[in-house]
Amino acid sequence: MDVVALGESMVAFLPSRPGRLADVPSFDRAIGGAESNVACALAAAGHTARWVGRVGADGFGDHLVERIAGYGVDVTSVSRDPARPTGVYFRTAGDRGTGAHEVAYYRAGSAASAMSVTNVDLPAVRAGRVLHLSGITAALSPECGALMRTLTEARPGRPLLSFDVNHRPALWPTPEGPLTLLHLARRADIVFVGEDEAEEAWGITGGPEAIRAALPEPGVLVVKQGEKGATAFERCRRTATPPTFEPALHVDVVATTGAGDAFAAGFLSGTLRGLPLRARLRLGHLFAAAGLTTPGDLAAPPARDHADRLTALDDTAWGRLRLAPGWTQAERATQEANTP
């Protein structure tokens, strides 16, 4: 496998119209999960991908496994729990960054929260060039935390370890949660963290350089800076290179949910292809733009030749791009065709 991703996936219920959860009359069913989102995006981009997780022996578990497999992801190592349910959540149509946004999670006691070193197929998890994990899993239960510590241990033959911090304050019942995330990040090879979540979790306010000072261990550190862009630090043969900043694209945003997972998938796609750091960042932005211009948690990335052509644009043309819903299905993005 090119990449293996382990974590909880849930059935997501998306509102049929804007409004409070109390007022929305119906919902459309979808799927969501940080790690499986990455696996699905990478599979859609032509990589071999496996998702390892645990779902209930119920209809929602069937739906999750079938939908994720539909993206071309290997799901043969997903286990079923006869005693615990598949997690579900409901959310409003409003942007996550507004006060009107609501999310109702029903994941306590889920099948995924029972993942442990004894019931997960560890050889299958370690059988990829890249192993992608996130901080969400560590918060689900003590057993999941122990599993994460085991998977991030330094050991001969360990896959390239990718870790998305994904700080979710509501999942951590004690103040030790942020320290757990910092500890796990320091054991990874590639780390993704938002500038805002580094401040929220660890109190770091000095920008990307200050975050790098707190996380010197990973070979690659990617600091996501929202609408501004992203800064990446890379250490080559034990020598640090200057940070690389790549501005984000102008996007007509439909929904922000899942954009961070899409960015990670784009960056990892470039990593698997051996692309330069700047191209990896641009692929992250393009995959994120695909997610930002669709309403669900998951969006098909642009075709490889389309993405490569946009990645190769000069700085001026890159800065002029504006991507709207449907741009990944177009042979050429309309705005690009109209750019002088």
DSSP string, 274-288: T--HHHHHHHHHHHH
Specify the pLDDT at position 258: 81
The tens digit of pLDDT for each residue in 74-101 reads 999 999 999 999 999 998 876 555 556 7
Specify the pLDDT at position 174: 80
- Cα distance from N-terminal residue to C-terminal residue, the chain: 42
Specify the pLDDT at position 340: 33
Specify the pLDDT at position 98: 55
Give the separation between CA 133 and CA 117, rounded to whole angstroms: 15
Query: Whole-model pTM above 0.85?
Result: yes
pLDDT of 127 over the 90 cut: yes
Give the sheet arrangement for strand 88-91, strand by strand: 27-32, 10-15, 88-91, 103-106
Residues 137, 151: contact at Cβ < 8 Å? no
Give the separation between CA 28 and CA 19, rounded to whole angstroms: 15
User: What's the mean pLDDT in 104-127?
Assistant: 95
Range scoring the smallest mean pLDDT among 51-55, 173-177, 208-212? 173-177
User: What's the mean pLDDT in 102-116?
Assistant: 92
Work out the mean pLDDT of the chain and round it to a whole number: 91
User: What's the mean pLDDT in 303-316?
Assistant: 95
pLDDT of 1 over the 60 cut: yes
| Positions marked catalytic | 261
The tens digit of pLDDT for each residue in 139-157 reads 999 999 999 999 999 999 9
Choose among 267, 84, 242: nearest CA to 162: 267
Q: Under DSSP, is residue 59 helix (H, G, I), strand (E, B) or coil?
A: helix
Alpha helices in the chain (DSSP H): 34-44, 59-70, 122-125, 135-139, 142-151, 177-186, 195-202, 208-214, 259-272, 277-292, 304-311, 315-320, 334-337
Query: What burial letters (b/e) apply to 102-116, b meaning 16+ CB within 10 Å?
Result: beeeebeebbbbbbb
Specify the pLDDT at position 254: 80
User: What's the mean pLDDT in 260-267?
Assistant: 96
Specify the pLDDT at position 99: 56
pLDDT of 230 over the 50 cut: yes
The torsion angles phi and psi of 229, rounded to 5 degrees, stand at 145, -145
User: What's the mean pLDDT in 18-45?
Assistant: 93
Confidence band (pLDDT; 50, 70, 90) for 49? very high
User: What's the mean pLDDT in 165-189?
Assistant: 92
Q: What is the separation of C-alpha 165 from the centre of its chain, rounded to a whole number of angstroms?
A: 10
The tens digit of pLDDT for each residue in 183-224 reads 999 999 999 999 999 999 999 999 999 999 999 999 999 999
